[in-house]
Amino acid sequence: MSAKAFQKLDSGNGEAGVVGCRGNDHLAGDGHLAGDDSLAADNSLAAVDSLTADDSFLPTECEMCPRRCGVNRQAGERGECGADDAVLVARAALHFWEEPPLSGEAGSGTIFFSHCPLHCAYCQNAVIAAGATGSAVSLDRIAQMCLELQEQGALNINFVTPTHYASLIREAVRRAKERGLTLPIVWNTSGYETVEAIRENASVVDIYLTDFKYASSELAARYSHAPDYPEVALAALKEMVARAGAPEYDEVDGEPRLLRGVVVRHLLLPGALEDSRRVVSLVHGHFGSAVRLSLMNQYTPVLAEAARAGNARAQRLLARMPELARRVSDDDYERLLDYADELGVQDYFWQEGGAAEESFIPPFDLTGV
């Protein structure tokens, strides 16, 4: 998601502290839809060159995400995520809309990957989630992107939607470090990760910027075709905390920079306030101050926009899920923040009013690729 201002609550009393801007990997509003067959199946829509990933870092029976679809990625078979033997990158650039300790004034060095294991019905970044844009790059090129972003002054290297390329990204980071990369590595994920993958990231990833989308398996099945999401995401989050540890900071230009730790994002969905309360209670109950919560109100009804533009798939989805045509009310968002305060959640991030209307989507135009 790419979003507007976040504010940090230093205590549960509602007093706002630091104001900053942020973004993340799950909102985009151009009317394209994740999982749209017309996008995923037509490679001519992607700006793909002839480069392919080093096959030795690809699985022959893919279990990189919890879908465990078992395809032979080395042979170019396409998984449920949409990816095959090529690594597609849609953008590599400084990004100023993450939570303040991640973006600061200098920006986060984001590398946006195409395709996605989850394919949520309301996906806001669907143009890249469906693989409708992106260029195939080598591992050496990914390593070089990291070094270029470091040279531009990035506070960190932020891999956005990396799950389905995990083994390749780890190798790219190793090569970048050999060439002088020193920045913290951020794993910006939907939260739908395997415990094994998080363990394999141990020597690579410093910070997890992870969603916790649902506490309800029914909502997870309805919107993401992943009824196992709550238990899978909780198990993965436990491993993230075990590996990354409690938040650690240094200071850059007088502002705190996150060096290690876990930030857990949750997007309030229309009509789903009770599930959001359950998510906050679940995360706070399990992890307390070991993670930083980030509560978002930026849901944008991209399905409604696409349906009005004549997209047949959007029209079918809205017929089954009419609630996704609505925005989240300010009252519901205030109720969620009040609930977090009542639970005693401290030092969390929240968004100012109007984030959905003002959401900023970076252009996925192959900048920096």
pLDDT in tens, 50-89: 344 467 899 999 999 999 999 999 999 999 999 999 999 9
Nearest to 111 by CA among 17, 5, 25: 25
How many structural domains are present in the chain?
1
Higher-scoring residue by pLDDT: 360, 361 = 361
pLDDT in tens, 232-277: 999 999 999 999 999 999 999 999 999 999 999 999 999 999 999 9
Q: Domain of 86: which CATH number?
A: 3.20.20.70
**β-strand pairing of 255-267 with 292-296:** parallel
Q: Which residues pair with 349 in a beta bridge?
A: 8, 294
End-to-end CA distance of the chain: 20
In a domain, 341, yes or no: yes
Q: Is residue 362 part of a domain?
A: no
* Domain-embedded: residue 359: no
Residue 254: domain span = 2-9+24-351
Those residues whose C-beta lies under 8 Å from the C-beta of residue 111, and which sit 6 or more positions away, are: 89, 91, 92, 142, 145, 146, 149, 157, 158, 159, 160
Domain assignment present for 14? no
* 97-117: pLDDT as tens digits: 899 999 999 999 999 999 999
The answer to whether residue 260 sits within a structural domain is: yes
| Structure-block tokens of residue 70 | 């078992």
Is 363 among the domain residues?
A: no
pLDDT in tens, 132-176: 899 999 999 999 999 999 999 999 999 999 999 999 999 999 999
C-alpha angle with apex 225: 219 to 226, nearest 5 degrees? 75
pTM of the model: 0.86
In the chain, % of residues over pLDDT 90:
75
Cα distances (angstroms) measured from residue 310 to each of 240, 241, 304: 41, 44, 10
Give the pLDDT score at 8: 42
Q: Where are the alpha helices (DSSP H) in 113-228?
A: 126-129, 139-151, 166-178, 195-200, 217-224
Do the domain assignments include residue 345?
Answer: yes
366 belongs to a structural domain = no
Q: Highest mean pLDDT: which of 22-26, 37-41, 315-319?
A: 315-319
